[in-house]
Amino acid sequence: MVRQHVNPLSRFYQLPRPLPAPAELFARAELPLHLDIGAARGRFLLAMAQGEPDWNHLGLEIRRPLVDAAEADRQALQLNNLHYLFCNANISLEGWLAALPPGLLQRVTIQFPDPWFKKKHHKRRVLQPELLLAIAAALAQGTALFVQSDVLAVIEPMLAVIEASGCFERPDGDARPWRAANPLPVPTERERHVLAQGLPVYRVLYRRNGLPPPPVALLEQRLGETLEQSPEAADNPANRQVSP
């Protein structure tokens, strides 16, 4: 399984795209919302939407051909609790999250994002501080943020920004540093592929606590201090796992 990258910093992907409100996307917009950032071909959400008819599911993906294919599958099954949108989440998602009705967003998943290893490419990673703070502001206390990857150099910086925010905690009793099992009923295609090769998947489930999101400057300061104390895994070639 080969990952097809796009450069999110290119001019085309830096253009903001207005995202429709939930009422324009779903037949029952009041249902709890699951947001999957980096939905890829969309088959994970396709199965989730069928298994959870009392939830709405929204997948965001930066590769437009994958969005078009996923939307075709959704329409063929006439699923009105599922939608896919093409956008760069770090450009277009913050304002959309801020406009959501309080309590609507109940789950955010970020699974197997593209592995930008080099330090100069860190700004291409999906979970930038501003986006994390927008997610934290939209999630009510007790709701879920689930992240997983097969690459330590990808998951560790994600955890660093999440934990530096102070807005999320791991559920009591969860295994550390990684969950042994996926808490969701459906694995992604990438997850199935990695596990079939006998390779590890690094997973963490977070719950939103009651603390307000900090200013972005404070989050970046905390993050910088964290990385100074513990050099980032991306700079250690031993932590890199090459995608098959």
Answer whether residue 26 is part of any domain.
no
Q: Is the peptide bond before 177 cis (omega within 30 degrees of 0)?
A: yes
Asked, for residue 99, whether it belongs to a domain, the answer is: yes
For this structure, is 172 an active site residue? no
Instruction: Please indicate, yes or no, if residue 195 is contained in any of the structural domains.
Output: yes
In a domain, 151, yes or no: yes
* Mean of pLDDT values over 58-63: 95
Confidence category of residue 237, pLDDT binned at 50, 70, 90: very low
Given the residues 54, 114, 150, 172, the one annotated as active site: 114
Contact 98, 135 (CB under 8 A): no
Residue 229 in any domain: the answer is yes
pLDDT of residue 228: 73
Quick one: pLDDT band at residue 199, thresholds 50, 70, 90?
Answer: very high
Instruction: Report strand pairing: 82-86 vs 56-61.
Output: parallel
Give the CATH number of the domain where residue 203 resides.
Answer: 3.40.50.150
Asked whether residue 123 is assigned to any structural domain, the reply reads: yes
Domain extent, residue 225, equals 88-239
pLDDT tens-place string over residues 62-89: 999 999 999 999 999 999 999 999 999 9
Say how many domains are in the chain: 1
User: E strand or H helix at 161, and its extent?
Assistant: helix 152-165
Neighbours of 127 (CB within 10 A): 23
Within a domain: 193: yes
